[in-house]
Amino acid sequence: MSQASSEQATEQAISFEQVTQTHKLWFKRVLGLGALEAKIWVASGAQLVALMCGAAVLLVTAWLLLIAAVAVIAWQAGFSLPLTLFVGAVITLGSAYGLMILVKRTLKSMNFTRTLDALIPSDEED
């Protein structure tokens, strides 16, 4: 009887070990897939940031060239050079101030309360 129960215990231990090994392999594959997805997202994110920086540099250059062209046209029309440069500086500072207002508004609206509420519902919602 003890030999039969010993064999049965050995079979159960082997099958449990096989199940454990199978789950470990499955979990390793799932984590490997997640790591691969993360690498793709990081590479795509870095490329997107680089493209956005390039676009920002081009937009700033175009904006400054536009202000310079208006200043040259005003100077050619007879306005004094210091006045045209001052107006160009005021326009540039005004647009920077407008962008800062947009940045502050965007940062203010960025919160994770919806995600937090989805993960951990508050007592009021229950």
Give me 122's structure tokens. Answer: 């508050």
Question: Please, what is the average pLDDT of the chain?
Answer: 83
**42 domain residue, yes or no:** yes
Q: What is the pLDDT of residues 73-84, one digit of tens each?
A: 999 999 998 999
pTM exceeds 0.75 = no
Give the pLDDT of residue 54.
93
The answer as to whether 22 is a domain residue is yes
Average pLDDT over residues 96-116: 81
Is residue 124 in some structural domain? no
Full residue range of the structural domain in which residue 15 is found:
2-119
Confidence of residue 26 (pLDDT cuts 50, 70, 90): confident
> Is 31 within a domain?
yes
Query: What would the two tokens of residue 96 be?
Result: 């920077």
In a domain, 41, yes or no: yes
For 56-98, write each residue's pLDDT tens digit: 999 999 988 998 999 999 999 999 989 998 988 998 899 999 9
Per-residue burial over 61-88, b if 16 or more Cβ lie within 10 Å, else e, is eeeeeebeeebeebeeeeeeeeebeeeb
Number of domains in the chain: 1
